[in-house]
Amino acid sequence: MTTATPAPTTVTLDDYKPLFSEENTWCAGCGDFGILAALQQALVQLEIAPHRVMVVSGIGCGSKLPDYIHCNGWQTLHGRSLPAAQGFRLVQHDMTVLAVTGDGDGLGEGGNHWLHAMRRNVNFTHLVENNQTYGLTKGQASPTSGAGYISSTTPDGNVEFAINPISIALAAGATFVARGFSGNVKPLRNLIAQAIEHPGYAIIDILQPCVTWNRVEYTYKWFKERVYDLADEHDPADKTEAFRRSLEWGDRIPTGVFYREERNTMDSQTTAIQMEPNRPVALRDLPVSKDQFEALKAKLT
């Protein structure tokens, strides 16, 4: 069995043009387009060939993304992309793995998986397409919907407190925590590139207008008036300050890297990987050593 073929020397945007799907079903102007563009550009910027990338998604508008990019991809179940991405990554630990979730998908249905992905620190990138609503099912309130949001399930206005993905990620031990805005593709591209290169779990909370269901707040215009870049005024090694900044929401909304640290990843702590760090578990031969197997049996005699 051979190991992976070497990546082509140059990777272009054409390499990531979708081949699988003839039609993109996102609404015209959907924030997902900016995220898709930023992701494609980031992968090109990092010169990662499409066959070395696996994009795992959940269910929702944004989770159709694997159909719209030419690389390996798997759309799983609503809320369940994170454990699947981790299982994949640990047996293919030299591939670039991204999980793409929505806010309802990744932070609601999959909330428990999200908390534990952060403390587990498997090396993959989590893009949260955060449009503050359930777009595909017609605009019901999501975990990040604002107070008073009116929808078919919140006719009197949303009474639940919006969760703050950045604060939670910081508290749960995520080692790379950032926020981007799908309307600012170039900075988002840079954030995605940094997240992919980060050794460990990296989350980017991506503010993404839903042009169909968010007509007043959380529109392109609304965000453009508020977002600012943290880079000039914040040291991402300062976790306390990162917490303080994470609470900022309203007239000014910070984007950029809130926090970054290097902690042992699951790669370095998984015995099977470390036995043969240069060959992913999935590319190894199946049979185990006869001596080791007999030793297991001998322990039972």
Partner 1 sequence: MTEVTYTIGGSAGQGVESSGAGLSQAHARAGYHVFAAQDYESRIRGGHNFYQLRASDKLVRAHTRHHSVLIALDDVSVPQHLGEMQPGGAVIYDAGRDDVDAGAIEDSGARPVAAPLVEIATTVGSDRVMANTVALSVASALTNFDFEAIAQVIRENFARKGEAAVEENLAVARAGYEWGAERVDGFAYRLPAPPPRNGAGPAMLIHGNQSVALGAIAAGCKAASGYPMTPWSSILEELIDARHLGIVVQQTEDEIAAISFALGASWGGVRALTGSSGGGFALMVEHLSLAGMNEVPLVIVEVQRGGPGTGLATRSEQPDLHFALSAGHGEFPMIVTALKDAVDGYYRTARCFNLAEQFQCPVILLSDLFVSNSLVSVPTNELDLDTVVGEIDRGKTLTHAEIEELAESYGRYAFSEDGISPRAIPGHAKALVHGMSDEHDEFGAITEDQDNRIAMMQKRMQKLEGASALMEPPTEYGPAEAPLSMVGWGGTWGALTEVVDRAEGRVNLIHYTDLQPFPAGGGDPLERAKKLVAVEQNYTGQLARYLRGQTGIEIENKILKYDGRQMSPDWVLEQLEEIA
Of residues 49 and 206, the one with the C-beta less far from partner 1: 49
Minimum distance from CB of 189 to partner 1 (Å)?
Answer: 22
Beta strands 253-260 and 176-181: pairing type?
Answer: antiparallel
Of residues 221 and 290, the one with the C-beta less far from partner 1: 290
What Rg, from alpha-carbon coordinates, does the chain have? 20
Minimum distance from CB of 277 to partner 1 (Å)?
Answer: 12
Minimum distance from CB of 102 to partner 1 (Å)?
Answer: 15
Of residues 138 and 284, the one with the C-beta less far from partner 1: 284
Of residues 83 and 254, the one with the C-beta less far from partner 1: 83
Minimum distance from CB of 267 to partner 1 (Å)?
Answer: 11
Minimum distance from CB of 149 to partner 1 (Å)?
Answer: 28
Of residues 65 and 227, the one with the C-beta less far from partner 1: 65
Of residues 48 and 141, the one with the C-beta less far from partner 1: 48
Minimum distance from CB of 72 to partner 1 (Å)?
Answer: 5
93: its two tokens: 């630990």
